[in-house]
Structure 1
Amino acid sequence: MILPPAVGSIVRARGREWVLLPSPQPDVLLLRPLAGGEAELCGIYLPLIQRGVEQVEPAAFPLPTPDGTADAVAAELLWNAARLTLRDGAGPFRSLGRISVRPRPYQFVPLLMALRMSPVRMLIADDVGVGKTIEALLIARELLARGEIRRIAVLCPPYLCDQWARELEEKFHLPAVVIRSGTVGPLERKTPPGESIFGHYPHIVVSIDYAKSDRHRANFLQHCPEFVIVDEAHGAAQPAGQRTAQQQRHQLLRDLAQDPRRHLLLLTATPHSGVEESFRSLLALLRPDFATLDLHGLNEQQTRELARHLVQRRRADVVRWLGTETPFPERESVEETYDLSPAYARLFEQVYAFSRELVRTGTTLTGWKRRIRYWSALALLRCVMSSPAAAQAALEKRMHSEEGLALDEEASDEAYAPYIYESSERETVDVAPAHIVEEGEREVGESDRRRLREFARLAASLRGTDDDRKIVRCAQIVAGLLGEGYAPIIWCRYIATSDYVAEELRRRLPVLLPGIGSQVRVISVTGALSEDERRERVAELTRFPLRVLVATDCLSEGINLQEHFTAVVHYDLPWNPNRLEQREGRVDRFGQPAPRVKAVLLYGRDNPVDGAVLDVLLRKAQEIRRTLGVAVPVPVDSETVMEAVLNALFFHVPTASRQLVLPMMPAEVADLHRRWEADAQRERESRTRFAQHDLRPEEVARELEETDAVLGDPKAVQRFVLNGCQRLGAVVEPEREGVWWLRNLKTLPEMIQAALPPDVAVSGEWRVCFEMIPHWQRTDQPPTVLGRHHPFVEALARYFLEAALAGSPDAPAPRTGVVRTSAVPRRTVLLLLRLRFLLESGRGAAEGGGGGVRTLLAEEVRVVGLRGLPPSPVEVLEGDEPLALLQNLKPEAPVSPRERREALEEVLAAWNDLQAPLRPFVEKRAARLEEAHRRVRAAADPNLPVPQVRPHWPPDLLGVLVLMPIPKGVAR
C-alpha cells in the first residue's frame, strides 16, 4: 500500500509541482499549485494513485538561479506578492487571509469572545450600522478556517436572504444558496435523490418562516448545519401575546439550541422588546439557566457569566477604538412642514367625518364586523393623507387585482396590520389596503358607497396640482438637498405614493433647479418589483451624479444604500419608530463616506394623523435616541399602537379639528411613555454592562499585528500596488492624501487587465485608495478601495509570483540579485523564505467531536537576514532589521555581472548547509505562533482545541538578495 505524503509536502503530479493541503476526504489528495490560488485546487483520488493510474512523486521547491538582476524594489515586490497570495496565514486569526473586507478593530471583539467558548453561543446586539453581519461572519469564517465547523446556516426574514447570500459570497468567499419558497424548485432539482436540500449544500441562507413551517421544520432540524446565525433574532423571541408566527419561530430556535454541540449566533439591534420574558427567552437559547435570571438584580457572578455570551455596544463605544477612528457620519435631523390647501382640507374633512362615523357605528357591533370598521377607518385616513394617488388606490375597487388579498371573518388583527402598520419584524406590505376598505364598504349602505366614490373623484382632481402642498413642499426640500450636494432617498408608505412622488419630482425639479434640474435622475423602487429588479434599478441610479431614489419600506432593509445616498426624507411618517430608525440607518451607518447625513421629517401642521403619530411616538423615540445614543423599540405591539392611534383620532376629540396636537387620553400617553422611559433606562444599564470594556484593546492589537505581519496590512497593499504598477509601465499620480490615479493601465499584462473593472479597462485610468477615507466630499464619487482580496490586487500578486517562479528572464521581480550599499558593514544575505507549519489538535470538532488528530496548514513569508556562510559561523539577524534593510535599501555603487554571479552561486551552493542555522529561527516562529493560538483561546474550558504547531521542513527559498558593502575608495 502506498502511503500518502504528509500535509505541507511538495509533490509533482500532472507535469507541475504542488503543495499538499489537508483534505476533508481521507481518500482524496488535495493539491495547490506552488504559485496558484484556491481556484486552481486539484483533488486526486488516492486509489487511482495506488493502482498507478495517477502519478504523484515527492518533489522539492525549485531553487532560484544565479542569473537574476533583482534590486531592492524587486525583492520587496516579490516578498509582498508572495504574502498577498497567502490564504492560510500563520497568524492567530486564520480567517483574514480568506476575506475581502478589512474588519474594524472593534469588530474583532465578538471573535475573541467566540474563540473562548465551546460551543459558541452569543447574542450580538450592537447598534444599527455598527456591522453585526461582519462580526458574525468573521466568527463563522474563523471556525471554518480552523476546521472546527464544516457548514453554515443563516436563518433570517425572507426579505434579507439575498443580502446575506451576497455578503457571504462577496466579502467572505463562501458561496451559499438561498432556501425559501421561491427558490426551492430549482435547488431540489439539483439535489441528488434521497438527500435533503438542507443537508446537500455546504452553506445555506434559509427563510426562517420557510424553515419553521410544519412541512419543513423536521427536515431542517435533522440536516441543519452545525453553525447557525439568526438575524433579526428579536422576531423569534417568545412573544407576549398569541402571535402564532413568532411562537413558531421561537420553537424552531429552541429545538436547534437543544443540540449541545451546535454553535448559535443571535443578531439584533433591538434585543429587548419591552417584555422581559421575551428577552429572557432569547438568553435561554444561549444557556438554559439564563431563563430564570432576574435582569434587574444580577449579581457580579451572573453579570460576568452573561457577559461571556452578550455583546451590546453603541456607536459611541466603538467610534474611537484601538487608536482607530471609525468614520460614522454625523446625522442632522430636521423637521419640515406643510399646510393642507383648502381643496385637500375639504377631502380630509369629508373622509375624516366618514371614518369617524364608521368607527362610531362600529361600537354597536361585535367581533369581526366591529374590527373591520376600525381597520377601514384607519386605512382610509392613512391613504388619503399619504397622497392623492394612494387615496385613489384605496378607494377604487381592487378586490380582484393581484395586489389585494380578501379578508374573511376568521382573519385576525395580525392579518390586517401589515397593510397599515410598518412592522420591523417582517417585510413591509406596501400596497394600498384597498381590500380592507372594500371589505368595510360591504357593511355600509348605497349612500355611503356613493360618498366613497366621490372621495375617489376628489382625490383624482388633486393629483399633480399645487393643491397637493405636500408634494410641492417635498419638491422644494429635494431641490435644496440636491443643491447642498446630498443624494436623497424619499421614503413613502405605499406603492402608489412612491410612483406618484417620483413622477412629480421628475416634472417639478427642472423648474426648481434651472440648468441642472433636467440632469437629475429620479426613480421609484417598490414592492411591485422583484428583489433582482430593485437591485438593478438602484445600481442603475447610482451611475448618475444627481440622483433621487423614491422608495417604499421594501428597501429599508436588504440593500446597501450608504455608499451612494446621503439623506432621507420621510414623505410618509411611519407609525413604527423602529421603522424610522431603519430608514435612516440605510444611510447613517459604517461605510458611509460622507461626513454628514441628513434626515428630514415632513409632516402636515394641520394634519391630525401626523400630529398623533408625532406626539405619541416619533418625537419620544427621537428624544430617547438623542439621550441614549441608540434607538429603543416602542414597548407595545403593533395592535396596541394602532389601538392608541384609533383612540386618538376617533374617540377623544369632539369635532374634526385639524389641530397639530391631538393627544390620546392622558393616562394612555403617560403609561406608554413611562414604560418607554423605563426600557430606555434598562437599555442604558445593559449597554454599560455588556459593552465588553474588560476586553482590552491591546489584546486585539497584539493579535492583529501578528496577523498583519504575515498577510500584509493596507499599507503593504498600497506599496505593492503602486510599485508594481510602475514596474510594469503604468503611471502613478497622487491626487490627494490617500488617493491616487493609476494611468496607462492598458500597458499591463493581459492577465492583470482581465481583473480590471470594465470601465477602467476601456479608459486605462483608475482612481484608487487603500483604506476607506473618512469624510469624503459628498459631491465626489469615492475612489475604489483596493484591499488584498480585490481581484486586481490578487491578479497583480499572482503575476509577479508566477513570473518569478517560472524563471522568466524578463520577470519584473527576479528571484535573485546583488546590491552594493553602505547600509551593511559586511556582506549580508537576505533570504525570502516561505515557511509552512502544521497545526495539529487532538479534537476532531469538524467530525462531531469524535477524537482523532486534525491537521491544518499555515504559511507565512519571512525576510531572514544572515551574515556569514558555512563553514564559517552564521549569524541570523534578529527582529525587524532584515525587513528594514529591504524596505530602505538604495543601491550606491555598481556590481559587475561576474561579481553578481559569483556572490549568488556561493549563497545557493550553501543552501543545504544553511538549513541548520535557520532551524532555530523557524522553531522560534513555530513556538510564537503556538503561543498566539493559546492566547486567543484563553479560557477555563479545557475542551477548546488549541493546536500544537510544528514546522514543515525545509522552507521554500523564494528569493535571495545579497548586500555587498562598498569597498573603501569606490565612488558611490
Structure 2
Amino acid sequence: MIEFQESNQRLWLPWQRLRQVRGVQHAFNLGRFEKESGEERQRLRLLSWAIQLWNENTGALATFDVDPLPHQIHLVHHIIASGHYNWLIADDVGLGKTIEVGLLLHAAMARNEANRVLIITPAGLTRQWKEELFAKFGFEGFRIYGDDFHINDPRDWKKEDYVIGSMDRMKQGDNLDTLLRADDWDLVIVDEAHRLSRRQYGNKLDASQRYAMLHKLRRRTQSILLLTATPHQGKQDSFSGLLELLSPERKSEIRTLALNPEIIGDMVIRNYKADVTDMDGNFLFHGKTVRQIEVPLSQEAVEFDKQLREYLRKGYSAQADTGKTTGRAIGFVMTVYRKLAASSVAAIHTALQRRLERLRGQESQSFNSLDDERYQGEQEEADIQKTQASPFFPGEEGILQGLIEKAASLEANDTKLHAFMDGLVETVIKENPKEKILVFTEYRSTQQWIKAALDDRFGPGSCVLIHGGMDMQERRDAIASFEEEDGAQFLVSTEAGGEGINLQHRCHIMVNYDLPWNPMRLVQRVGRLYRYGQQKRVVVFNVHQSDSADEQVLNILYDRLESVAQDMASVQQYEFNDAMKEDVLGELADLVDIEGVLAEAANNKLERTSERINEALERARSAASAQKELFEHAASFDSAEVAGELEITLDHLQAFVEGMGNIIGYQILEKTHKGLVWQIRLSDRAMDELGVSRTRYTLTFDRILAAKKPEWLPMNMDNWLFKSLLKRARQYDFGGVTVFGKEYHSQAIVAAVARWQNDRGRRARQELAIVALENGATTLNPVWFGHWLIERKTPCDAVETEKAERKAILDQAGSRVEQFIAQQSTQALLPDQMQWISAGWSAEPAGAQ
C-alpha cells in the first residue's frame, strides 16, 4: 500500500511497478547534494509549491476579469484556515461577495472539496449568479433548477453536480421533497440569507418556509455558506437562527449569545467599507456628495395635494369601517397612491385614471405581476389595479374625476420634471457633454415619463431603461448601451436595478427622482455606483417637492437619518471618514421601521409625525449600537493574519514562467503591454515534453487582457501550460531536492509542506513551511524568502559539511514545523504529517552578499 502525500491517496499497487525514491531527509543526511543548476531548480521547485498552495488557500490564481482585493483574498484564506466552510459572510454592500464566493469555490475545487455545489438565491438572481460565475470565473457547469433542467425522478439528480435554484421554488413541497432525496452536497451556498426568517414568541419558534427548507437541507451537506450584508436587522431571533444553521451542534451556546458573543468569531466574517484597501494600502472608497434639488410647489399643486389628501383620508376612514380583508386592501391602495404622488404627477395621474376606468368597468393596460421582493414599486403598481370594482366610499367617482382633471393640468406644466431637466441635467451636461447619468425611481409610470422627456430633449436612443418586466438579456443590452462610449447617455432604472447591477466603471452621477419610503433601498441604489472600482467621487442628487405633506415627512426622515449616522460614525475609535458613515447609514436604514410611521402620517400633524420619526430612529440607533457591539467579535479583514506566510505576487508568477523556459526549452521573444504580455517560441524538446505541435504562443499575466483575448494563454491555475510547468517542477526527477546555495541569508534552509486533517481523516489544509537555521536558531518563513524566490540563481561550489551537523539541522527543522502544525491546530483542524520537499546548505556565510 502506497501513500501519495500530494494527492492524499492510499493505493494498493503491484510492487513490481514501483521504484524506490530516496527522500529529502535521506539525501541530506548522506550529503548527496545536486550539481548542474541545482539551486535554480530548487528555486523553481519551491516556487511551484508556493504558487499551488497559495492558490489552494485563497483561490487567487483563478480565471476572472478583476484583480482580487486584499480583504477578498484574506476572507477565503481565513475560511480555508478554519478547516470548514460553515460561515456567514456579512460584508458591506459593494465589497464583492460574488468574487469572494468565486475565489472560495476555486480554492475548494482545487482541494477536491466542491464536487457537488448547490447555490440558493432569490428568484430574480438565479440567472445573474450563473452568468457571473461563468463570466468572471469560467465555471461552466452551473445549471438553474426549473429553468435549465427539471427533475422528474430523484435519481436524475445524479446528473447535476452544480446547481443554482430559487429559494421560493425549492421551498415548495414537491420540489423540496425531490431535493431532499438527492445525493448529499459538498457545499450549499445561500445568497440573501436574511430572507430565511425565524421569529421567537415566548418559548415558541416560528420559522418561515424558506428557513424550514434550509433546516431540512442542512442534514444533506457538511458545509453551508450564508451570504447577507444585513444579517441581524435588529432581530436577534432570526440572527440566532442563521447561526444555528451554520453550527447546529452549538445551539445552546447560540441561544445564550448575549452572554458569550465571542462565539460569532468562529462563524461570522464582516468587512466594512471603512476598512478595506487596495493592494497598495489605499482606501477604496473616495466618498460621496449628496445634494438636494428643492422643487417648490405651485399654488395649483398645493391645491391638488390638499384634495388628494382629503381623498386619502376618506379612503383610510372606509378602511376602518369595512371588514378586515377589504379594509386592508383599501389601506394598501391609499398608501400606494401617496407614494405615487411623491414620485411624480404622471404616476399618480395614471393610477387615478386606472382606478376610474375600473369603477366604470373599462379595461386598461396593466403591468405584469412581479413575484420578487426587489421590485416593490412595480409590484405595487400592478397590485392596485386588481382592487375591487365598486367604490371604496360614496362619491369616490366624482372626487376621482376632479383629481384627474387637476393632475392632467399639472402634468402639462410639471415643475419637478422641469427642475430635473433644466436645472439638473442641463447643468451637468454643460459641464461635461458626455457625462453619463443614472436615474432611479420606484415606479414604471414615472420611469416612462422621464424617458419621454429625455428622448424629446436629447433624441431617441439617448436613454435606456431597466425594470422588472425585462429579461436578463434586455437588461444586459441596456447596460451595455449605457457603458459604451457613444451609447446611451442616461439610464433610468426602477428598483430592479437596486441589486446586482454594477455601473461604477462608467458613471459617478446618480439622481433619485423620488426617495423610497424604505431607506435601505436608497442605500442599495447608491451601492450601484459607490462600490469597488469607482474612480471618482460619487455625486447623488435627490429631487423632491418639500412642500407636499408626504415629501416633508420623507425629508425629515432622511435628514435625521443622515444626522444620526454622522454622530454615530464620529464617535468611533477610528478617524472619521465617509465610508464609515456609509457603514452606519446602511445599518440604520436596515433597522428603521418607517412604514408604520408614514402610514400614520396621513392622520397626524407634522409635529407628531416628526416625534414618531425620532422615536423610530432612537430605536434604530440603540439596535445598531447593540449590533455593532456584537459584530465587533466577528472575524474581519486583518492584514496581519497572513503576515507570516508567503504571498504570491505577479513577480513570482513571471519569475517562475521565465525560469522554467531556461529548463524546459522555450524562448521569450518579446514582452509588451508593460511586460504583461509575452511571446514565446518552444524548442522541439519543449514541444515534445509538453505534448503540443505549435511552436509559438502568446502568454498574458493580466486578467483584463486575458478576458478580451481568449486566444492568449492566461498564466493562472486554469491554463494547461501553466499547470504543466507547475507539475513538472514538483516532480522528484526535476531536481532541486538537496543543493548548495549562495543567497540563503542563513546556514541552511529546509522546506516542508505542513498539513492538517479534519475529524473524518480528509485533508483540511496545507501550508508551505520554510525553516531557516542559523547558529542553532530557527526562523519559520523568513521575510527575505519571498524576494529570494524571484531572482534567478547561479551555480556555486560545494563546501565541507559534517553529517552530525546536517542531522541536527533536520531535527531542528522538523521540531519547528511540528510546533507550527500544533499551534495552528483547532477542533476542526487536526494535526497531519508533514512532507519534506527540499533542503539546502549555504555555500557562503549568512549575510555575505
Deviations 1:170-191 (A, max 9, x none): 444433534354x1xx4138x9
2:396 alignment partner in structure 1: 448
Aligned counterparts, 1:747-826, within 5 A: 784=704, 792=712, 794=714
Q: Does the C-alpha gap of structure 1 residues 354 and 438 become closer, same or farther in structure 2, counting only changes over 3 Å?
A: farther
Q: 1:276 aligns with which of 233, 236, 239?
A: 236
Give the aligned partner of residue 265 of structure 1: 225
Mapped to 2, the partners of 1:80 and 1:471 lie a distance apart of 67
Question: 1:578-597 to 2 correspondence within 5 Å?
Answer: 578-594=520-536, 596-597=537-538
Kindly tell me the number of residue pairs found equivalent between the two proteins: 746
Q: CA deviation at 1:675?
A: 0.8
SS in 2 for 1:225: coil
| Aligned match of 1:430 | 378
Shift of residue 271, structure 1, vs aligned partner = 1.8
Secondary structure of the equivalent of 1:336?
Answer: strand
Q: How do 1:537-616 residues align onto structure 2 when only pairs under 5 Å count?
A: 537-544=478-485, 547-594=489-536, 596-616=537-557
| Structure-2 change in CA distance of 1:701 and 1:643 (3 Å) | same
Does the 8 Å contact 1:280/1:292 carry over to 2?
yes
CA–CA distance in 2 between the matches of 1:752 and 1:452?
76
Question: What is the DSSP-based 3-state SS (H/G/I as helix, E as strand, rest coil) of the residue aligned with 1:205?
Answer: strand
Pairwise CA distance, 1:953? 11
- 2:268 is matched with which residue: 285, 288, 310? 310
Partner letter of residue 238 of structure 1? R
Pair 1:857–1:239, CA change in 2 (3 A) = closer
Asked whether the 8 Å contact 1:929–1:949 carries over to 2, the reply is no
Q: Deviations over 1:306-365 (max 9, x none)?
A: 322223342223348x86224223111221111234454444443332222222333322
Give the match for residue 449 of structure 2. Answer: 500
Q: Are the equivalent residues in 2 in contact too, given 1:632–1:680 (CA < 8 A)?
A: no
**Percent identity between the aligned chains?**
21
Return the alpha-carbon distance in structure 1 between the equivalents of residues 752 and 124 of structure 2: 43
- Is contact 2:293–2:541 with CA below 8 Å preserved after alignment? yes
Task: Find the aligned partners of 2:268 and 2:565 in 1 and give their Cα distance.
Answer: 21
Quick one: structure 1 residues 288 and 441, their matched pair in 2 at CA, closer, same or farther if it must change by over 3 Å? Answer: same
* 1:134 match: 99
| Aligned mate of 2:281, from 297, 306, 324 | 324
Alignment CA distance shift 1:744-1:253 (3 Å): closer
Give the corresponding residue for 1:625.
Answer: 565
Q: Choose which of 337, 347, 355 in structure 2 pairs with 1:380.
A: 337
Cα distance in 1, alignment partners of residues 275 and 84 from structure 2: 27
Give the Å deviation of 1:582. 0.5
Q: Does 1:527 align with 2:501?
A: no
Question: Counterparts of 1:926 and 1:477 in 2: how far apart (Å)?
Answer: 69
8 Å Cα contact 1:116-1:939 kept in structure 2: no
Q: Does residue 1:220 correspond to 2:179, yes or no?
A: yes
Opposite residue 490 of structure 1, the aligned amino acid is V
What is the rounded CA distance, in whole Å, between the counterparts of 1:347 and 1:581 in structure 2? 31
- Gap change, CA 1:881 and 1:480, over 3 Å in 2: same
Q: Which amino acid letter does the alignment assign opposite residue 531 of structure 1?
A: M
**Deviation (angstroms), 1:677:** 1.6
CA contact (8 A) 2:80 2:765 kept: no
User: Which letter maps to 2:129?
Assistant: W
CA–CA separation in structure 1 for the residues paired with 2:600 and 2:100: 43
Give the corresponding residue for 1:652.
604
CA–CA separation in structure 1 for the residues paired with 2:253 and 2:312:
48
Per the alignment, in what secondary structure is the counterpart of residue 333 of structure 1?
Answer: strand
- 2:618 maps to which residue? 674
Q: Report the CA distance shift for 1:83/1:342 in structure 2 as closer, same or farther (over 3 A).
A: farther
TM-score of the two chains, using structure 1 as the length reference:
0.63
How far off its partner does 1:493 sit? Answer: 0.7
Note the C-alpha offset of 1:452: 2.9
| 1:929–1:316 CA distance, 2 compared to 1 (3 A) | farther
Question: Is it true that 1:354 corresponds to 2:311 in the alignment?
Answer: yes
For residues 196 and 439 of structure 1, what CA distance do their matches in structure 2 show? 44
**One-letter identity of the residue aligned with 1:580:** L
1:944 partnered with 2:829: yes
Partner amino acid, structure 2, of 1:688: E
Alignment RMSD (CA, Å): 5.6
In 1: Cα distance, 2:118 partner to 2:784 partner: 43
1-side partners of 2:241 and 2:658: how far apart?
A: 51
> Cα deviations across residues 95-139 of structure 1 (Å, max 9, x unaligned)?
333353543223344334433545433222222222334334434
Q: CA deviation at 1:250?
A: 1.8
Cα distance in structure 1, aligned partners of 2:253 and 2:305: 52
* C-alpha contact (below 8 Å) 2:347/2:443 kept by paired residues: yes
Distance across 1 between alignment mates of 2:792 and 2:107: 35
Q: Which amino acid is the alignment partner of residue 523 of structure 1?
A: V
Q: Are 1:335 and 2:292 an aligned pair?
A: yes
Q: Which amino acid is 1:263 matched to? A: S
SS in 2 for 1:591: coil
Does structure 2 retain, via aligned residues, the 8 Å contact 1:256–1:262?
Answer: no
| Contact 2:601–2:609 under 8 Å retained in 1 | yes
Of 206, 229, 235, which aligns to 2:195?
235
Matched residue type, 2:92: D
C-alpha separation in 2, matches of 1:450 and 1:432 = 24
Q: Given residue 131 of structure 2, which amino acid in structure 1 is its aligned partner? A: R
Are 1:471 and 1:504, in contact at CA under 8 Å, matched by a contact in 2?
A: no
- Contact 1:275 1:635 (8 Å CA) reproduced: no
Distance 1:144 1:390, change over 3 A: same
In structure 2, relative to structure 1, the CA distance for the partners of 1:262 and 1:799 (3 Å cut) is closer
Shift of 1:142: 2.8
Structure 1 residues 947 and 476: CA distance shift in structure 2, 3 A: farther
AA at the equivalent of 2:510: V
Distance change (3 Å), C-alpha of 1:187 and 1:678: same
CA distance in 1 between counterparts of 2:836 and 2:180 reads: 41
What is the DSSP-based 3-state SS (H/G/I as helix, E as strand, rest coil) of the residue aligned with 1:940? Answer: coil
Match of 2:214 in 1: 253
- Whole-angstrom CA distance in 1 between matches of 2:166 and 2:462: 34
In the alignment, structure 2 segments of 5+ residues that lack a partner are 22-36, 570-580, 660-665, 681-692, 727-733, 735-740, 744-749, 771-781, 840-849
The CA deviation at 1:194 is 5.0
Say whether 1:489 aligns with 2:450.
Answer: no
- Deviations, residues 392-421 of structure 1 (Å, cap 9, x unaligned): 44232587756255xxxxxxxxxxxx99xx
| Alignment deviations for residues 223-244 of structure 1 (CA, whole Å, 9 cap, x no partner) | 35232222222221314699x9
The answer (yes or no) to whether the contact 1:632–1:683 under 8 Å persists in 2 is no
Amino acid in structure 2 at the alignment position of 1:671? E
Q: Distance in 2 between matches of 1:482 and 1:924?
A: 73
Q: Shift of the alpha carbon at 1:202?
A: 2.1
- Write the distance in 2 (CA, Å) between the matches of 1:235 and 1:880: 48
Deviation (angstroms), 1:923: 9.5
**1:201 aligned to 147, 160, 163, which one?**
160
Q: Provide closer, same or farther for how the CA distance between residues 951 and 140 of structure 1 changes in structure 2, counting only shifts above 3 A.
A: same
Task: Tell me: CA distance 1:348–1:885, structure 2 relative to 1, closer, same or farther (3 Å).
Answer: closer
Residue 530 of structure 1, CA deviation: 0.7
Residues 827/135 of structure 1: CA separation in 2 closer, same or farther (3 Å cut) = closer
**Alignment check: 8 A CA contact 1:152 1:225 kept:** yes
Task: Give, as a single letter, the amino acid of the residue that structure 1 aligns with 2:209.
Answer: Q
Q: Deviations over 1:926-949 (max 9, x none)?
A: 9799779948x82431x5255534
C-alpha displacement of 1:604: 0.7
Corresponding residue of 1:683: 627
Instruction: Give deviations 1:662-684, integer Å, cap 9, x for gaps.
Output: 34446633431221121122133
One-letter amino acid matched to 1:312:
R
